[in-house]
Structure 1
Amino acid sequence: MSPKYPVLKPQEIIRALKKAGFREVSQKGSHFKLKKENPTSIVIIPMHEEVARGTLKSILEQAGISLEEFLKLYR
């Protein structure tokens, strides 16, 4: 696993994905669901204290966003 993936709080990831065009769909327990219409993508964010690097990598793959794109949205 590459250390270039940061360990972030779920709220930081959600904020960046909303900038990318995702919208809130629902929250069930400790998991937050975001959706983007074109192309259709659904991403589940675990609402833990921190999201691990591997989990962030999986979230970005599901969202169809590269790490570089995400980091631009995050900052």
Structure 2
Amino acid sequence: MKFPQDVPIAKVLKTFELPGFVTVRAGNHISMQRSNPDGTKTPLTLPNHSKIKGSTLRAICNQAGISRDEFLKYFNQ
């Protein structure tokens, strides 16, 4: 399956909420974080643009430790 391009920010946020990320701050960038079972937190920062490019989305997935397939599974729910 092809990786999505120019995705609306609302869809991106909803997709990252499914694996447990919550928005902690929003300004020029949106900061999200996920609490992990071992007590650590995984931070995530994404630009607060109306649409997110595919290349940016892949970089965000790498930062979050989410594989392409895992992202697509959440994205298509």
TM-score over 0.5 for the pair:
yes
* Aligned residue pairs, count: 71
More strand by share: 2
Q: Which residue of 1 aligns with 2:11?
A: 12
RMSD of aligned Cα (Å):
1.3
Alignment of 1:1-75 (within 5 A): 4-7=2-5, 8-28=7-27, 30-38=28-36, 39-75=40-76
Once superposed, which parts of structure 1, at least 4 consecutive aligned residues long, lie more than 4 Å away?
Answer: none
- Uncovered stretches (5+) of structure 1, i.e. residues with no partner: none
- Uncovered stretches (5+) of structure 2, i.e. residues with no partner: none
State the percentage of identical aligned residues: 30
TM, length-normalised to structure 2: 0.81
Query: Displacement of 1:5 after TM fit?
Result: 2.5
